[in-house]
Amino acid sequence: MSAISIKNLQKIYKTADGKGKLALDHIDLDVPRGSFFGLLGPNGAGKSTLINIMAGLVVKTVGRLSICGYDIDTDTRAARYAIGIVPQELVLDPFFTPRQVLENTAGYYGVRKKKRRTDEIIEAVGLAEKANAPARSLSGGMRRRLLVAKALVHSPDVLVLDEPTAGVDVQLREQLWEYVLKLNKEGTTILLTTHYLEEAEELCDRIAVINHGKVIANDEKRNLMQTIDQKCIVVTPSDPINTIPEQLNIWQALLNEHGQLEVTYQSNKDSVADILAAICDAKIVIKDISIKEADLEDVFKHLTSDHSS
């Protein structure tokens, strides 16, 4: 059974001209139980609409969506209890303290007092020193961490993080991810949307890319990273060079702003030995050398540009 199962999901928003705006275009998507799943896409791709449908804030046009086997239409209460969602918007009561926010939210979910993990969660998200301070006194980053804490009070099987680290400093971001990874190892399914692609590359084991309301890629991270068969040799010459040697014309070569020679090649067609031989043939003495592989940002740009029409 999938943690989240989406079949033929479509959302059309009503518009004044009567034509409607298509936000989700018959999406099929399954998020495996226990996975750390990345949902990526440019602004306006449909990610927020999809998450808002999961949260019950937006009504889908057609299709089915279930959470841990509970249909959001026929098993609404169970589906809502199975998921915790951290929204992009910083929506909090300014007069409640973090402790009060978590206690109240736990009460809404019917969590008995002896089973509440208020102190544990407050400590995990780095709000122990502000546990009894009103929310209006918290910084933007602290408020975002409080939203994460709020989503965890009922120990959901699925945790959806919608841009959770926007405005959060590096140290506290690391603390947050440490706790989220702990939850994932204990069995919680994580669904992450983020514009920090390095986070998704480091954390996720499976990634889907959505663009113009369609899922254009959905695979294990290691497979997705192989979408671009391209690497780059970066050569630092012992002596400065001003032009690209003609021996390198058969490859994509350039001089970067640091005076280094960058040669881009396809690993299934080109030989590194041939490239190095061409560099040596051009009488370039190599001081240092490194190889850059395509990262998730390169893959993301490649996928979204190819499907931008």
For the segment 104-161, what is each residue's pLDDT rounded down to a tens digit? 999 999 999 999 999 999 998 889 999 999 988 988 888 888 998 999 999 999 999 9
| CATH number 3.30.70 is the correct assignment for the domain at 231-293 | yes
Task: Mean pLDDT check: name the lowest of 24-38, 69-83, 183-197, 225-239.
Answer: 225-239
Q: Is residue 232 packed enough to be buried (19+ CB in 10 Å), middle (13-18) or exposed (0-12)? A: middle
Instruction: Please give the structure tokens belonging to residue 159.
Output: 């945790």
Domain map (residue ranges) of the chain = 231-293
More confident residue, 60 or 228: 60
Residues 194, 162: Cα–Cα separation, whole Å: 7
For the segment 215-226, what is each residue's pLDDT rounded down to a tens digit? 999 999 988 887
Mean pLDDT confidence for 66-86: 95
For the segment 245-282, what is each residue's pLDDT rounded down to a tens digit? 888 888 888 999 888 999 988 878 888 899 999 998 88
* 8 Å CB contact between 189 and 205: no
What is this structure's pTM? Answer: 0.82
Chain Cα centroid distance, residue 52: 16
* 8 Å CB contact between 261 and 234: yes
For the segment 174-197, what is each residue's pLDDT rounded down to a tens digit? 888 888 999 999 999 999 999 889
Sign of CA dihedral 57, 143, 209, 36: negative
Residue 306 is predicted with a pLDDT of 53
